[in-house]
Structure 1
Amino acid sequence: MSESIRTIKETNMENVFECEYIDGTVRLCTKNFAPGYSVYGERLIKYNGTEYREWNAFRSKLAGAIMKGLKENPVKKNTKVLYLGAASGTTPSHISDIVEKDGKVYGVEFSARVVRELILVAQRRPNLFPILADARFPQSYMPLVEDADVLYVDIAQPDQTDIAIYNARTFLKSDGYLLLAIKARSIDVTKDPSEIFKAEAQKLEKSDFDVKQVINLDPYDKDHAMVLARFKG
């Protein structure tokens, strides 16, 4: 794919890059921690001797948040990330790229079928650790997880914010960061999503979090928002 690339340049976020194609299209990308392998059919791009993976903002809420103006990405080189709702590994694999070999991504997923797919991704990514568990019961995976610099939560539950708070109090370092993907329709289908985003952010504020940003993810994810908050616990 290098013949269709004009340039790849750094963004203001560590290990997150912009790929500019010959036709002027710009996409996010990350350096591939598992060269030669894609995870979800994304394009692999060779540029100046390095392989990058295109990061599809319609497939990853973190990429969508970055495209919509996330001010700071707390996921950086060497960070330890606890990821709730890891699914088959789309976003966790890009986080694996970002944190590199000395970082760690603990991917908690409830579905045994989906975890099997995540395990296949992790086989080529020694910094990604799949965990079959229910995020409502963090004590069940406490022996497997170190204290985290970042808690990433993407679960379709009505009490998703409460689950995030519970896990933060269990694992998140003081001054660590929370990235919470709020799914408005999972919480209340009768309310306006913007009201739900505001209410969930206020819930975090009352629970030892300093909410830095609430980003509506439309058009990448309808009725979703990404909350960036810092834990004061």
Structure 2
Amino acid sequence: MEIKEVKEGLYYYGGDYYTKNYVPGKKVYGEKLLTIDGVEYRRWDAFRSKLAGALKKGLKDFPFSKKAEILYLGASTGTTVSHLSDICEDGVIYAVEHAPQMMEKLMKLAERRDNIVPILADARMPTEYEDIGEVGVLYQDVAQPDQVRILLLNERKFLKDGGSAMLCLKTHSIDVTKEKEETLKGAKEELKTRLSIEEVIDLDPYDKEHYFIAMRK
């Protein structure tokens, strides 16, 4: 079976997505490693990464490339960040995380991957990291009640015109009393004041509480 590059830096093999390992021989979160023709790939687990889940559910908009500049809000321990590091090998990922325990693991990841810039900061306060300048991609996975406002705050400050924004929307973090479809509707109305919504994907069964929203500025 042949491994196929389906988008820049993104590969498909045996029903799963893979990325070329930026640090051959090293796993990040226990993922499967696959070597074909002397090249090592990492399996992108859709149950561990919402972006991989969105790809498995048919996401078409994939703005990541070899030289992409990305602002990633809610980087956690770096599961998804690590795959973006594989793809954006000559780019940069500004990985913002506010929890010191998560940041410790993220910094260890960045020691081996020099295209990751860990930033210990609150995504509600973009002035804390304003010196990064503009980026072409804004990605957010922050489970807070004001997650839409956080995205728009950062979009105004950092996202280039024509750039891409991606939001992992956790509806129960916004309002646990409402049906998730109702919360999604309100979030879309707010997002549309600044951005063009290209795709909305329900991440079930990979993640039953999140929608993945792809947008353009």
Sort the TM-score into its range (normalised by shorter chain): over 0.9
Question: Could you say what the CA RMSD is over the residues aligned between the two structures, in angstroms?
Answer: 0.9
**1:24-43 → structure 2 map (5 Å cutoff):** 26-43=15-32
- Counterpart residue number, 1:158: 145
What residue identity is the alignment partner of 2:10?
Answer: V
- Counterpart residue number, 1:9: 4
Match among 96, 106, 131 for residue 108 of structure 1: 96
What residue identity is the alignment partner of 1:152?
Answer: Y
C-alpha distance after superposition, 1:121-153 (max 9, x if no partner): 11110100100000000001112x131100000
- Counterpart residue number, 2:33: 44
How many angstroms does 1:198 deviate by?
2.0
C-alpha distance in 2 between matches for 1:36 and 1:149: 30
Q: Which runs of 4+ in 1 moved over 6 A?
A: none
Match among 217, 220, 233 for residue 206 of structure 2: 220
C-alpha distance in 2 between matches for 1:185 and 1:158: 8
**1:164-183 → structure 2 map (5 Å cutoff):** 164-183=151-170
How many angstroms does 1:222 deviate by?
0.6
SS in 1 for 2:75: coil
C-alpha distance in 2 between matches for 1:194 and 1:223: 11
- Counterpart residue number, 1:142: 130
How many angstroms does 1:180 deviate by?
0.3
C-alpha distance after superposition, 1:93-124 (max 9, x if no partner): 00111111x21000000001110000111111
SS in 2 for 1:123: helix
Gaps of 5+ in 1: 1-5, 21-25
So what's the TM-score if we normalise by structure 2?
0.98
What residue identity is the alignment partner of 2:155?
Answer: A
How many angstroms does 1:7 deviate by?
2.9
Gaps of 5+ in 2: none
Matched, 1:189 2:189: no
C-alpha distance in 2 between matches for 1:43 and 1:87: 21
- Counterpart residue number, 2:195: 209
How many angstroms does 1:201 deviate by?
1.4
C-alpha distance in 2 between matches for 1:89 and 1:148: 19
What residue identity is the alignment partner of 1:84?
Answer: L
**1:64-143 → structure 2 map (5 Å cutoff):** 64-100=53-89, 102-143=90-131
C-alpha distance in 1 between matches for 2:58 and 2:180: 19
Identity of aligned residues (%): 48
- Counterpart residue number, 2:12: 18
SS in 2 for 1:74: coil
C-alpha distance after superposition, 1:39-82 (max 9, x if no partner): 10001111111110000000000001111111111112211000
C-alpha distance in 1 between matches for 2:150 and 2:117: 20
- Counterpart residue number, 1:3: none
C-alpha distance after superposition, 1:189-228 (max 9, x if no partner): 111111212221111101x200001100000011210100
What residue identity is the alignment partner of 1:79?
Answer: A
C-alpha distance after superposition, 1:139-181 (max 9, x if no partner): 01112x1311000000010000100000011111011010000
C-alpha distance in 1 between matches for 2:150 and 2:80: 20
| Corresponding pairs, count | 217
